[in-house]
């Protein structure tokens, strides 16, 4: 974290220029109260910001245009100009231009993150098709970030209040899901999830539920053997270090509210986890890439071309992503401080116990 600015510096990639990315960035950062706990830097350019800003009269985004980080203004939103040329913006259209400048923004933001110029990154939505290029041959932000930061295995983790949904597989076709479900992969994802719940969410002994792959958890092998041969052994072998339980049939698990009894849930594939998550998150879900040495969050939705440029985009998930990014940065620093000085942790517990005793004495 920049020693001269106590508040974390948060970078924002603009996403597809023709999607809702810049609109939700403007709507979120127009609330000047956010400047009380972070310094925002948007990776785009003035003209692209102003293009969307002119049609959002209710949102007063005040920003400083900066050529580099030496000119950063800690008391205002900053726009780091990533290109100078005229760019054609056509809201709602899938174009090569929209993807090309989304990648320019993302590359410059990730480079700043890697260099330590920013402390965290919030990414606006990209379109996975038109962003493809020789420099970007990935199925989304998560595998791209994994590649940039040393091909270290990571985890797609969706967060909303007390619901934390992780995925074993991400953008994989249903036809191929089963071949990616291996015992070692489940164990690795459980380890990353467990570590993240401890370091990023401050849960000392997290309880994790593991969902089954097949309907009715395989019905003892009648509807698939993955639960018997892969998932249960993975849970059992993880048990000495991780409080993991299951596998649970996904439909009954959420219908009965069992997710409320756990600190995290590990789903086998994308829609198995995201359908219940988005239904329960009420538009305020956050996508967090766990397991990386950096902090990156994003909203739990896509480019929404159908409403782009119409002032219809809801910025709630994006705003929640900002709060979550800042919170995780502080949580990681707090965990690091506790590890460096374990006496702090002991003192904190003693203080908490003392407060409890005082409360009981008075009441």
Last residue of a domain, one of 288, 303, 327: 288
Last residue of a domain, one of 288, 309, 332: 288
Which tokens sit at 45? 């350019």
* Count of domains for the chain: 2
pTM higher than 0.85: yes
Residue from 111, 105, 113, 121 nearest 289 by CA: 121
Last residue of a domain, one of 269, 288, 307: 288
**Res 12 pLDDT > 60:** yes
CA distances from 40 to 26, 59, 65, 82, 185 (A): 11, 16, 12, 15, 36
Which tokens sit at 95? 């174009």
Asked if residue 19 lies in contact with residue 101, where contact means CB atoms within 8 angstroms, the answer is no
DSSP letters, 98-130, are: HHHHHHHHHHHHHHHHHHTSSSEEEEPP--TTT
The pLDDT-based confidence of 347 (bands split at 50, 70, 90) is low
pLDDT at residue 2, as a whole number: 47
**Res 332 pLDDT > 80:** yes
Domain hosting 120: range is: 1-152+292-363
Asked if residue 140 and residue 62 are part of one domain, the reply reads yes
The pLDDT-based confidence of 337 (bands split at 50, 70, 90) is confident
pLDDT at residue 153, as a whole number: 86
Residue identified by tokens 């164990």 is 187
Asked if residue 132 and residue 87 are part of one domain, the reply reads yes
**Res 352 pLDDT > 60:** no
- Say which range, 59-63, 191-195, 300-304, 341-345, has the weakest mean pLDDT: 341-345
Asked if residue 157 and residue 145 are part of one domain, the reply reads no
């Amino acid at each position: 974290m920049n020693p001269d600015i106590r508040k974390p510096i948060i970078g924002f990639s603009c996403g597809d220029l023709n999607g809702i990315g810049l609109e939700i960035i403007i709507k979120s950062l127009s609330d000047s109260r956010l400047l009380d706990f972070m310094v925002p830097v948007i990776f785009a350019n003035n003209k692209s910001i102003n293009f969307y800003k002119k049609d959002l009269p209710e949102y007063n985004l005040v920003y400083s245009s900066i050529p580099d980080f030496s000119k950063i203004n800690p008391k205002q939103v900053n726009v780091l100009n990533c290109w100078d040329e005229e760019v054609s913006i056509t809201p709602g259209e899938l174009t090569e231009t929209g993807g090309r400048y989304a990648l320019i923004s993302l590359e410059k933001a990730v480079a700043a993150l890697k260099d330590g110029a920013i402390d965290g990154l919030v990414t606006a939505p990209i379109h996975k098709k038109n962003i493809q290029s020789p420099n970007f041959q990935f199925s989304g932000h998560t595998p791209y970030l994994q590649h940039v930061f040393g091909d270290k295995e990571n985890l797609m983790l969706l967060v909303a209040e007390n619901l934390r949904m992780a995925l074993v597989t991400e953008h994989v076709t249903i036809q191929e899901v089963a071949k990616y479900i291996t015992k070692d992969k489940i164990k690795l994802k459980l380890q990353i999830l467990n570590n993240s719940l401890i370091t990023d969410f401050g849960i000392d002994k997290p309880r994790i539920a593991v969902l089954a792959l097949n309907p009715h958890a395989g019905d003892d092998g009648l509807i698939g053997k993955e639960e018997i041969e892969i998932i249960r052994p993975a849970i059992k072998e993880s048990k000495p270090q991780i409080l993991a339980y299951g596998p649970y049939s996904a439909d009954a698990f959420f219908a009965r509210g069992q997710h409320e009894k756990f600190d995290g849930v590990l789903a086998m594939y994308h829609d198995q986890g995201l359908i219940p998550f988005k239904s329960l998150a009420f538009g305020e879900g956050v996508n967090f890439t766990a397991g990386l040495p950096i902090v990156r969050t994003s909203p739990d939705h896509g480019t929404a071309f159908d409403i782009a440029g119409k002032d219809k985009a809801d910025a709630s998930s994006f705003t929640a992503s900002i709060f979550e990014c800042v919170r995780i940065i502080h949580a990681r620093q707090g965990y690091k401080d506790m590890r460096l000085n374990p006496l702090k942790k002991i003192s904190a517990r003693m203080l908490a116990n003392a407060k409890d005793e005082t409360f009981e004495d008075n009441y």
